[in-house]
Amino acid sequence: NAGVTQTPKFQVLKTGQSMTLQCAQDMNHNSMYWYRQDPGMGLRLIYYSASEGTTDKGEVPNGYNVSRLNKREFSLRLESAAPSQTSVYFCASSEALSGRGSDTQYFGPGTRLTVL
Amino acid sequence: AQSVSQHNHHVILSEAASLELGCNYSYGGTVNLFWYVQYPGQHLQLLLKYFSGDPLVKGIKGFEAEFIKSKFSFNLRKPSVQWSDTAEYFCAVNSNDYKLSFGAGTTVTVRA
């Protein structure tokens, strides 16, 4: 049982390049999330998916797109990377459909992205 | 939307000292409260959470937190820290939906 896995672990991009961050969970969770972590700002929610086929914007969605490919996988795409997107990206999942507030979110190891 | 304030950016203490990390939030309605920890090189993991019942919540590794509704606070405590408690600690809050709001985090360094 690997929990939440993310690839890649590290990535360096040039401004304007695109890339997709992959996330998968093996806990049969319904809800999945993408966060970014910046120094002194904690984690901020980018996008959320309550179930396969549904996605919603979080606090900082601009410049990102997501796909909930199936129940296990939730990817985050940067279409045209900018230096402001340099950050550590975390994927998370939780059990409940529609993200019941009291549910624990389980986090992946993170992807450290640098945009030059 | 909620906001979450963690009072200390960096705390340095010696082994066996007591630890208290402050957390205040801005939302006035029903809330769920969490403390997450990130050990060096590891995932964020849940330390403890409160969503109803006894406002004094016990978590893993000897941590506890007390929800004081009148003060909008959820402070984390441990009576005697160990070197292995060196980590970054995050307070998080939601109003019974998926939208977790995190504090900026507190880095705790425990000196042997």
**How close is the nearest chain B Cα to the Cα of A20, in Å?**
20
How many Cα neighbours within 13 Å face the side chain of B84? 3
The one-character DSSP state at B37 is E
**How close is the nearest chain B Cα to the Cα of A31, in Å?**
9
A110 Cβ under 8 Å from any chain B Cβ:
yes
- Phi-psi domain of A67 (left: phi exceeds 0; alpha: psi -120 through 50; beta: other): beta
Residue type, B13: L
**In the predicted model, is pLDDT for residue A98 greater than 70?**
no
pLDDT tens string A13-48 = 999 999 999 999 999 999 999 999 998 888 999 999
pLDDT tens string B20-64 = 999 999 987 888 999 999 999 888 999 999 988 999 999 999 999
Rounded mean pLDDT of chain B?
Answer: 93
Per this entry, what is the length of chain B? 112
Please tell me the predicted confidence (pLDDT) of residue A103: 83
Spell out the long-range contacts of B65-71 with Cβ–Cβ below 8 A and sequence spacing 24 or more: B65/B33, B65/B35, B67/B33, B71/B24
pLDDT tens string B65-74 = 999 999 999 9
B54 class by beta-carbon count within 10 Å (0-12 exposed, 13-18 middle, 19+ buried): exposed
**In the predicted model, is pLDDT for residue A99 greater than 60?**
no
Residue type, B93: V
